[in-house]
């Protein structure tokens, strides 16, 4: 049977599209997931995709269930779950199948990471045959875990570029919308308070507004700022339509291993302003070409980059929009699926 098993955390739209593409390619996808949700997203039903709540299985039960499924590949989301790690180790020891660890961790040159590199041969390599990473910063981390090139897979994460490419940018060629857009959790690690400090410090906003979309604990603190609109969580189709009246996407995260939203809103044709912390920035943002990258947690630098955007002509902003859309196609769901399946070819 062409079965693939995922041991995952919370299911998000970007992961559901990968399951969808695997199903289209003739594979049955079985997903064990954590049922404690941070967002209201519910994956759509599709034939050949099956979901199992992690809480319904202990380690022994999960192993038994996966043995019954008899997968070609076992994909595990990171190594933070002891249960998932034990299951992975069981299948690596007893079954001749690829056991793939999907990670988005960047190499940050920190002491804690160096300790992890030292213990990896005795800890991770006993559990996983391959490491699956989204980009260059994560590849560097995987190499230091003592995995060679032949056991590191690229392209683990892809946004739904087909959907976001539907966003029209033609109207922006003649009158570019003066609206900054933030989409994400309303919490401190996303840098939302830094964004509002920078925004409030701009005295002459030159007709620009700021639109915030998401949910989270800081929502009430976002209200009452001048020229700021605070909206609730939206599904991806709603977001795609929303981008047609927005000019620039902004992500001020303090910590962001990857930041798939950079690709998705680049695909929607938005120039990007983001912090250096965003792990996807080397792939989807070129400073001065389709946006700007600012120093993480630096309010003044973020303010400066927003002011640069505000001074650009409509023509330049439109050129940046087109460049963002082009850069977004660096990886697609089809390429992500093909990269995973390459381990069984």
pLDDT at 267 over 70: yes
User: For the chain, what percent of residues have pLDDT higher than 70?
Assistant: 99
Q: Please give the helix or strand (H or E) that residue 28 lies within, else none.
A: strand 28-33
Domains and CATH numbers, the chain: 3-158+331-344 (3.40.50.2000), 161-328 (3.40.50.2000)
pLDDT at 122 over 80: no
C-beta of residue 180 within 8 angstroms of C-beta of residue 250: yes
User: For the chain, what percent of residues have pLDDT higher than 90?
Assistant: 86
**Among candidate residues 313, 184, 187, 193, the one with its CA nearest the CA of residue 247:** 313
pLDDT at 235 over 80: yes
Q: Is 113 helix (H, G, I), strand (E, B) or coil?
A: helix
- Burial tier of 249 (Cβ tally within 10 Å: 0-12, 13-18, 19+): buried
Identify the pLDDT of residue 87. Answer: 97
Which pLDDT band holds residue 44 (cuts at 50, 70, 90)?
Answer: confident
User: Helix (H) and strand (E) counts for the chain?
Assistant: 13, 13
Identify the pLDDT of residue 229. Answer: 96
Find the Cα–Cα–Cα–Cα dihedral 48, 54, 59, 63, rounded to 10°: 0
Q: What is the pLDDT averaged over residues 132-145?
A: 95
Identify the pLDDT of residue 164. Answer: 96
Identify the pLDDT of residue 12. Answer: 86
Which pLDDT band holds residue 113 (cuts at 50, 70, 90)?
Answer: confident
pLDDT in tens, 306-330: 999 999 999 999 999 999 999 999 9
What is the pTM for the complete model shown? 0.92
Identify the pLDDT of residue 117. Answer: 84
Identify the pLDDT of residue 39. Answer: 65
Which pLDDT band holds residue 40 (cuts at 50, 70, 90)?
Answer: low
- For the ranges 154-158, 216-220, 281-285, 322-326, the lowest mean pLDDT is seen at 216-220
DSSP track, 129-194: SEEE-SSHHHHHHHHHTT--GGGEE-------HHHHTTS--GGGGTS---EEEEES--SGGGTHHH
Identify the pLDDT of residue 38. Answer: 64
pLDDT at 120 over 90: no
pLDDT at 206 over 90: yes
CA distances from 71 to 1, 59, 153, 211 (A): 8, 17, 19, 44
In sequence order, the β-bridge partners of residue 29 are 4, 49
Task: Round to whole Å and give the CA distance between 345 and 341.
Answer: 7
> Mean pLDDT in the chain?
94
Q: What is the CA radius of gyration of the chain?
A: 21
**Among candidate residues 281, 182, 314, the one with its CA nearest the CA of residue 239:** 182
Q: Which of 110 and 243 is assigned the larger pLDDT?
A: 243
Burial call 34-67: b when 16+ CB within 10 Å, e when fewer: beeeeeeeebeeeebbebbebeebeeeebbebbe
Phi, psi of 23 (to 5 degrees): -60, -45
Identify the pLDDT of residue 105. Answer: 93
**Among candidate residues 142, 181, 162, the one with its CA nearest the CA of residue 331:** 162
């Amino acid at each position: 049977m062409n079965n693939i098993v995922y041991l995952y955390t919370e299911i998000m739209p970007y992961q559901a599209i990968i399951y969808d593409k695997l199903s289209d390619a003739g594979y049955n996808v079985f997903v064990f997931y954590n049922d404690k949700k941070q967002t209201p997203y519910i994956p759509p039903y599709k034939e050949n995709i099956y979901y199992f709540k992690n809480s319904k299985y202990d380690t022994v039960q999960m192993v038994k269930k996966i043995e019954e499924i008899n997968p070609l590949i076992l994909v595990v989301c990171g190594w933070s779950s002891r249960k998932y790690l034990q299951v992975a180790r069981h299948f690596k020891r007893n079954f001749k199948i690829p056991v793939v660890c999907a990670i988005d961790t960047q190499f940050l040159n920190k002491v804690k990471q160096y300790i992890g590199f030292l213990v990896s041969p005795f800890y991770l390599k006993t559990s996983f045959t391959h490491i699956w990473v989204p980009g260059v910063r994560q590849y560097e981390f995987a190499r230091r875990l003592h995995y060679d090139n032949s056991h590191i897979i690229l392209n683990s994460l892809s946004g739904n570029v087909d959907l976001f490419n539907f966003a029209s940018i033609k109207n922006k060629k003649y009158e570019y919308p003066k609206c900054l857009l933030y989409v994400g959790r309303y919490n401190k690690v996303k840098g939302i308070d830094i964004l509002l400090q920078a925004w409030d410090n701009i005295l002459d906003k030159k007709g620009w507004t700021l639109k915030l979309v998401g949910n989270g604990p800081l929502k009430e603190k976002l209200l009452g700022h001048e020229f700021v609109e605070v909206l609730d969580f939206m599904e991806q189709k709603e977001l795609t339509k929303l981008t047609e009246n927005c000019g620039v996407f902004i992500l001020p995260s303090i910590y962001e291993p990857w930041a798939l939203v950079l690709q998705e809103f680049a695909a929607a044709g938005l120039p990007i302003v983001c912090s250096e912390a965003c792990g996807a920035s080397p792939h989807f943002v070129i400073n001065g070409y389709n946006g700007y990258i600012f120093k993480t947690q630096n309010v003044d630098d973020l303010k400066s980059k927003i002011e640069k955007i505000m001074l650009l002509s409509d023509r330049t902003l439109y050129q940046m929009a087109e460049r963002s859309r082009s850069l977004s196609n660096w990886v697609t769901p089809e390429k992500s699926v093909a990269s995973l399946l390459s381990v069984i070819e």
